[in-house]
Amino acid sequence: MEDEARLASALQRGLQAEGFVVDVAGDGLTGLDLARHGGYDAMILDVMLPRLSGYRVVRQLRAEDHWLPVLMLSAKDGEYDQADGLDCGADDYLTKPFSYVVLLARLRALLRRGAPERPTVLAAGDLTLDPAQRRVTRGGTEINLTSREFALLEYLMRRQGEVVSKTELLDHVWDASMETAPNVVEVYVGYLRRKLGRELVETVRGAGYRLRADLSSG
């Protein structure tokens, strides 16, 4: 779905030429209805849409336990705008203007990952994260996180037990197209450790980070 009809039409033609079956919705309510009932493999969703914003569309889908992969498009390129897109339930975020080649590559990556059913509340030991309510608790105690800290923790929790590289974290929690220093990941991992416990995230030397699945506050 895309609020600019010309761009939406161009994307539709380009994706159809690649073999995709594509439907276009001109407003958020229509797009939400298509996403609910259309049986699609993925959704390209613009933030600024008539009748219902892209943020509200994806929040509603996630609230209904619809895990259709969503690639969000926006002219807003601030880091907090991107964090908001990921926090509300999008799987990836691309700022305009963008390269069609990059969009196609990211769409294919979403399709490869598919849409495994995700729990409403994520848990790792005594750590819980509720994406819809933006609430994190450990041992029953609520802990306040910034938008960026929350997005980083959510991504690690969705991949708990797996080693996640700095590059992957930069690509999904930050915007890979922006000039972001690689050490920003270390900085934010440090913030999470201070707030949630130093044993929370393991550093796997030369590979990345891994969220432990056997957490306990003791």
Write out pLDDT tens, residues 78-123.
Answer: 555 556 666 677 888 888 888 889 889 989 888 887 765 555 688 8
Burial of residue 200, with CB atoms counted within 10 A of its CB: 0-12 exposed, 13-18 middle, 19 or more buried: buried
Tens of pLDDT, residue by residue over 170-192, are 877 775 445 567 688 899 999 99
pTM for the full model?
A: 0.53
Q: In this predicted model, what pLDDT tens digit does every residue of 10-46 receive, in sequence order?
A: 888 999 988 888 888 888 889 898 888 888 889 999 8
Q: Which residues pair with 62 in a beta bridge?
A: none
* pLDDT value at residue 119: 59
Task: Answer yes or no: is pLDDT of 3 > 50.
Answer: no
- Domains and their CATH numbers in the chain: 5-113 (3.40.50.2300), 122-211 (1.10.10.10)
Q: Do the Cβ atoms of 79 and 152 come closer than 8 Å?
A: no
Q: Which tokens hold the place of 92?
A: 């990836």
**Sign of the C-alpha dihedral computed for residues 214, 135, 116 and 90 taken in this order:** negative
